[in-house]
Amino acid sequence: MAKSVLARLDEAVDGFCLRTRYFREEMTKGRAHMFAMQHRLNTRQRNSVLKLKVATNCPDWDTRIGIIRACSEEVIADHEHGGGRAHWEILEDLGTRIGLSRKKIQAAKPIATTQLAWSAWEGLMANRHWLEGIVANTCAERANVPGYGTGVMKKHGWFGLERERWGRLFNLSNGELEFFGLHEKADIAHSDAGWRAVERFAGQLHMEDAVVAACERNLQVWEMYLNGIGEAGDKSARY
């Protein structure tokens, strides 16, 4: 029997988790600083621009509202997991606990690879079939679900891995690392909704191969985005 489309998507996410240098190499202070600044910008761009384009293109009302709800938790207020704060605000708070001033975080500009990722995602999310867009919206959050990659990541997901290594590096408690903890829950919910939509519509629309290809391409962009943060973090730490 041919592999199910979800099994093929899972395989793509697993490959991303296994190969991305940013996950495999050591976390450093410089890299963590760069992540806090770039990812705050990235989550704002993705959830106020890119994912909303996918919602606009989506004809299934429940799926569309689900996307907008998830975006609103990210950029406006998350009452369920974040005590009413947006996720980028929670990440800003975390940045101040690892030695960055709020002023510096707020003044950060996207580095070249972040900007390139936004341009690439524009092409992969804005003028695409909405089902490919749903995959683009959720494939990286999927890495926060346990079961992909190896070691701590396989056991607790990508942000479980970050919680562990940031905790060790900066001596922070789980409460202080809430940005990662809340995503272990929020992203399971967000990415499940995406995966369910694909399961429901890919066969119906004869788009199995297209959604798998979309998943692979989007994760290549994520790989470049994260490795770019690693490299820029290493450079800035040398000053």
Which residue's Cβ has the minimum distance to Fe ion?
Answer: 87
Which of residues 187 and 216 has its CB atom nearest to Fe ion in the complex? 187
Nearest partner of 68 among 53, 79, 81, 83, judged by Cα: 53
Q: How many CB atoms lie within 10 A of CB 239?
A: 5
Which of residues 41 and 202 has its CB atom nearest to Fe ion in the complex? 41
Which of residues 74 and 92 has its CB atom nearest to Fe ion in the complex? 74
Identity of residue 70? A
Tell me if 6 sits within 8 A of 199, measured CB to CB. Answer: yes
Helices 130-138 + 112-125 axis angle, to 10: 150
Which of residues 8 and 87 has its CB atom nearest to Fe ion in the complex? 87
Min separation Cβ 16 and Fe ion, Å: 18
Min separation Cβ 87 and Fe ion, Å: 3
Phi, psi at 150, each rounded to 5°:
-135, 175
Min separation Cβ 6 and Fe ion, Å: 23
Residue 85 β-bridge partners: 78
Which of residues 87 and 128 has its CB atom nearest to Fe ion in the complex? 87
Q: How many CB atoms lie within 10 A of CB 227?
A: 16
Q: Which residue has the tokens 């975390």?
A: 94
Which of residues 87 and 163 has its CB atom nearest to Fe ion in the complex? 87
Min separation Cβ 187 and Fe ion, Å: 7
Min separation Cβ 88 and Fe ion, Å: 8
CB neighbours of 62 closer than 8 A, spacing ≥ 6?
none
User: Which residues contact Fe ion by CB under 5 A?
Assistant: 74, 87
Tell me if 158 sits within 8 A of 143, measured CB to CB. Answer: yes
Min separation Cβ 38 and Fe ion, Å: 14
CB neighbours of 113 closer than 8 A, spacing ≥ 6?
224, 225, 227, 228, 229, 231, 232
Which of residues 5 and 186 has its CB atom nearest to Fe ion in the complex? 186
Q: Across the chain, which distance is largest between two alpha carbons, in Å?
A: 56
